Amino acid sequence: MSLFVGAAFVAVVFLTSMLSGVFGMAGGLVLLWFLLLLFPATTAIAVHGVIQMTANGARAWLSRQFIVWRVVVLMTLGVLVAAGLLLWIGYSPDTATVSILIGLMPILVWMPRYWFQLDASRPSHALTCGVVSGGLTIAAGVSGPLIDIFFVRSRMDRRQIVATKAMIQVVSHAIKILFYLGSALALSAGEWGIILLAAPFAMLGTNAGNRILARLTDANFRAWTRWIVTAIGAFYLVQGLFLIATG
């Protein structure tokens, strides 16, 4: 990784962490796209896990008083089940597969509320969310839009949504890192040095985003989240289809 690329990586980490600090997920989608330009899919997902675990950890800490721990525990059980199933089938991703999976995610945020009466505060729904979103986190690197349909339809306010999602994503990304540990260990010492250097910038970006979040209304938060995720997803979908077509 050259000095220029390393500097760009640090900048992207800061900006995407700030974006996630506001909306809880969009930044991770952008960061993963950048990492897929630099590394094979398995390595990109592992590195993404390290950065996102740091950013989400900072976000969870800043909003710790709003975390709904009962939901976190149930979702964690679900993530562990999903990881076990993917490990059993020997799953290994590629860039095209990851792009297609992420590109299709925005469909979820536009589904009418009455189609799915999902609520993360309900035990069975929280466990289901953990299985499905945990599997997608490991398979595609991110699962924010999927997690979102379990939260935006709940009675939690924006602070509880962001805080609880941040905590469960800390867990999900930690499990994801372990799943792709072999690819992560293949990185050079210099590359890991830049990744570790970027970690504090993830926390700074999260702090900046948290300040912006405090100024948003619940209505604006939900509306902007939909449009931003849709735009990013459309880009991923086009990229995935292009990679398949050019094979």
Q: Which amino acid is at 169?
A: Q
* Cα–Cα separations (whole angstroms), residue 176 to 23, 52, 56, 139, 189: 22, 11, 14, 9, 21
Under 8 Å between Cβ of 177 and 49: yes
Q: For 24, left (φ over 0), alpha (ψ -120 to 50), or beta?
A: left
How much of the chain, in percent, has pLDDT values that exceed 70? 90
Residue span of the structural domain in which 52 resides: 3-246
3-class secondary structure per residue, 142-199 = CCHHHHHHHHCCCCCCHHHHHHHHHHHHHHHHHHHHHHCHHHHHCCCHHHHHHHHHHH
Q: How confident is the model at residue 24 (pLDDT cuts 50, 70, 90)?
A: low
Structure tokens at 181: 């540990």
Higher pLDDT, 156 or 242: 242
CA-based nearest residue to 28, from 138, 141, 133, 174 = 141
Query: With b meaning 16 or more CB within 10 Å and e meaning fewer, what string describes 81-110?
Result: ebbeebeeeeeebebbbbbbbbbebbebbe
The whole-angstrom separation of Cα 179 and Cα 145 is 22
CA-based nearest residue to 49, from 144, 138, 131 = 138
Instruction: List Cβ neighbours of 194 (8 Å cut-off, separation of 6 or more).
Output: 1, 6, 9, 10
pLDDT digits (tens, 9 = 90+) for 156-209: 777 888 789 889 989 999 999 999 988 888 888 878 888 888 888 887 887 788
Farthest-apart Cα atoms in the chain, separation = 51
Instruction: List Cβ neighbours of 2 (8 Å cut-off, separation of 6 or more).
Output: none
- What average pLDDT does the chain have? 84
pTM of the prediction? 0.81
Please report how many Cα atoms fall inside a 13 Å half-sphere around the Cα of residue 210, on the Cβ side: 22
Structure tokens at 239: 């990229």
* Cα–Cα separations (whole angstroms), residue 51 to 6, 14, 31, 47, 202: 14, 10, 9, 6, 7
Whether 114 shows a pLDDT value over 90: the answer reads: no
The whole-angstrom separation of Cα 142 and Cα 162 is 15
Structure tokens at 176: 């994801």
Q: Which amino acid is at 27?
A: G
Q: What is the mean pLDDT of residues 208-231?
A: 74
pLDDT given at position 113: 62
Tell me how many domains the chain contains: 1
